[in-house]
A and B are shown apart, each in its own frame.
Chain A
């Protein structure tokens, strides 16, 4: 089955700087890669996703990149703000198989004042 590895487990960046979180996946058939943000005590919420037919997607300060050959995908947050502090999860799924989403272990992002 699919296995998703995520790193780093913790990341601290100065407010205004950029943050990058990297993930790898094992199943080359995976074709859908969502990212979730979970604030303390709250539910995970989808913030952006990318499908395997594109290499990059951007939404305001957030961008995701996908390298299918290397089975890597990354989340980039620019101009970080205090409200970006949270745990971020990458995930992977095979939509052709109508498959469940498998999550990474998460990255705790701290935005330092």
Chain B
């Protein structure tokens, strides 16, 4: 599969626990994006990387959220001390630089905080 892969597909965690998600982009794509999508809403931008550099973080991203892309390939998104409001679908997308022809999204990780 040469698309964008995300792992896990589903995660149920107790409030206060830490969780980490992984995204493997399309190999030739320099850009990697994280979005969050709640029910009935469009994807909300969280952060993005060009190669290993994190270029922008949304104000939506509290200090409990951290993302890395250490070698410019896969990325991880960690949420510390999860809250019920963190429950959402976390989508990863990748693109060539400048977002030509839009993004290719992964299938997402659905997080449920109980």
Contact = CB atoms under 8 A, between A and B. Distances in A.
Nearest to B42: A103
A101 interface: yes
A49 B101 contact: yes
Contacts of A112: none
A27 B45 CA distance: 16
Contact of B41 (A36, A43, A101, A106): A106
Contacts, number: 55
A95 B104 CA distance: 16
Report the contact-size class of chain B (Cβ under 8 Å from the partner). 20 to 34
A100 B42 contact: no
Given A43-B91, A43-B107, A102-B45, A49 B40 contact: no
A104 B105 contact: no
Contacts of B105: 43-45
A100 B100 CA distance: 11
Interface string A77-113: 0000000000001010101001111111110000000
Contacts of A46: 101-104
B103 A43 contact: no
Interface string B10-43: 0000000000000000000000010100001111
A101 B102 contact: yes
Interface in B58-114: 91, 97-108
Contacts of A95: 98-100
Contact of B43 (A49, A99, A103): A103
B107 to A, nearest CB: 5
Interface of A: 4, 6, 32, 34, 36, 42-46, 49, 89, 91, 93, 95, 98-106
